[in-house]
């Protein structure tokens, strides 16, 4: 198996040094070059083109966004953005997503060297996963993205049991209102934009988990809200799920569906990482199983890993309709593939067909 060729572009000498040490020691990765800015990077890329580029955003001579747009126009390549976890960094990261970033990892302002060294295994996994992305999809659509807050290295992989008890037979009771639950990760913000911008102002209530850290979900929701006819916002604890509204789980928090009488609302809460994520799709899907049962639509879309696969199987067993995005339209077919393999999917459909299925769940 060929090694993944990696190029690091970052104006921080510390970041270049630490990432170089991580990748040089990693089996399956070939660090072909490092560069302090995009101008130097382009010179190195004339000699050898990387499989994955690790890119800073704020750099001298040419910023990372301009460089990213140039790459995606000339030769689409998986790009992992290194971004600071700040409000300004979140806004800039949205521009990186629009320009074509496949994944984003955080770098703290304090304790950078120790943090990157501690997370070496996850960094390596991120690079290898990015290398397997659907490059043809990157070229066809210029918005492919995911934001990954690196979880503690070696952390146990917990199930939704760590947050919610398993669903019971009560989940099968028919409710008066329907709800649509969507889970996604790598490439998900692009996919969500394609879906939500096609929905009319009067649409079913939607709850969404997109793997993102805090601050980034606020910027992402605000951007979608400016593009969509429906209202899109970062979910707040006890907020109602209503027609014409999509609620996105806040980064760093789990989101669960609750019910008061015939009305749905969401609970936003802390909790352990589930399937190595917070927010977790498995947690959202289990809560939907328990509260909405067969009167729900579950959708799992592009993303790495298997978060949501068990939760979708539970939704399916409770009588909910379940849909997976097909491989041809996914940036990464990991999450849908796992959900299909575990027998929890009723239909596998292309991204463009998903809005039509959502509209079938309008209240009659």
Active site residue 254: no
- From the list 185, 275, 280, 287, the catalytic residue is 185
Active site residue 145: no
Active site residue 307: yes
* Order of all β-strands in the sheet with 321-325: 231-234, 245-248, 206-210, 179-184, 296-300, 321-325, 347-349
- From the list 56, 98, 171, 211, the catalytic residue is 211
- From the list 10, 282, 306, 307, the catalytic residue is 307
Give CA–CA dist 192/230, Å, rounded: 13
Shortest CA distance to 302 belongs to which of 275, 339, 327, 273? 327
Catalytic residue list: 185, 211, 307
């Amino acid at each position: 198996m060929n090694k993944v060729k990696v190029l690091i572009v970052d104006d921080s000498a510390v970041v270049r040094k630490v990432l170089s040490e991580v990748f040089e020691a990693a089996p399956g990765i070939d660090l072909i070059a490092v560069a302090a800015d995009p101008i130097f990077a382009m010179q190195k890329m004339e000699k050898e083109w990387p499989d994955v580029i690790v890119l800073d955003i704020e750099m001298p001579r040419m910023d990372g966004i301009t460089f990213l747009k140039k790459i995606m126009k000339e030769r689409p390549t998986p790009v992992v953005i290194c971004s600071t976890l700040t409000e300004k960094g979140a806004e800039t990261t949205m521009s990186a997503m629009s320009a074509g970033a496949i994944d984003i990892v955080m770098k703290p302002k304090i304790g950078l060297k120790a943090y990157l060294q501690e997370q070496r295994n996850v960094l390596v996994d991120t690079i290898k996963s990015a290398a397997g992305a659907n490059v043809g999809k990157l070229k066809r659509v210029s918005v492919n993205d995911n934001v990954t807050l690196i979880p503690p290295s070696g952390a146990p992989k917990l199930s939704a049991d760590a947050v919610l008890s398993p669903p019971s037979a009560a989940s099968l009771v028919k409710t008066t209102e329907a709800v649509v639950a969507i889970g996604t990760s790598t490439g998900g913000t692009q996919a969500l934009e394609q879906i939500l911008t096609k929905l009319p102002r009067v649409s079913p209530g939607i709850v969404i988990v997109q793997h993102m850290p805090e601050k980034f979900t606020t910027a992402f929701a605000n951007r979608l809200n400016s593009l969509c006819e429906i209202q899109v916002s970062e979910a707040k604890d006890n907020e109602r799920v209503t027609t014409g509204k999509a609620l996105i789980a806040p980064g760093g928090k789990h989101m669960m569906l609750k019910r008061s009488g015939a009305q749905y609302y969401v609970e936003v809460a802390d909790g352990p990482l589930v399937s190595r994520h917070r927010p977790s799709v498995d947690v959202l899907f289990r809560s939907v199983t328990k509260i909405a049962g067969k009167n729900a639509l579950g959708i799992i879309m592009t993303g790495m890993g298997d978060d949501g696969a068990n939760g979708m199987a539970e939704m399916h067993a409770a009588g909910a309709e379940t849909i997976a995005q097909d491989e041809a339209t996914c940036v990464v077919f990991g999450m849908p593939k796992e959900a299909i393999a575990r027998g929890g999917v009723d239909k596998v459909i292309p991204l463009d067909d998903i809005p039509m299925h959502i509209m079938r769940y309008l209240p009659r």
